[in-house]
Amino acid sequence: MIGNVFLYVPFGYFAYLYFRDRAWMRGIGAAALLSSVTEFTQVFGHGRFPSVQDVLMNVLGAAVGIGISRMRKTR
């Protein structure tokens, strides 16, 4: 679970820098979409199981990355 969070922190960090208007909502939405597609592809893999918990942890990681990026930008 912790790995899923840390994997998406850089995604959130750079998503905030890329999306200028409504960066918070667009960054979270992009992370949720990417994570959902990734989990969906696991349906077709042997030994891999999709999980809603993974999607939530990935989105949490992106939110942490966005928060870090916002804090650095305001300084």
d(CA 53, CA 60): 10
Q: Does 75 score more than 70 pLDDT?
A: no
Report pLDDT for 74.
60
Q: Count up the domains in the chain and report the number.
A: 1
* Whole-angstrom Cα Rg for the chain: 13
Q: What are 34-42's contacts with CB under 8 Å, separation 24+?
A: 34/58, 35/8, 35/59
Q: What is the pLDDT of residues 10-68, one digit of tens each?
A: 999 999 989 877 888 999 999 999 999 999 999 888 888 889 999 999 999 999 999 99
pLDDT at 58: 96
Nearest of 30, 25, 21 to residue 58 by alpha carbon: 30
pLDDT the model gives residue 73 = 67
Check residue 72 and give its pLDDT: 81
Domain span at residue 70 reads 2-74
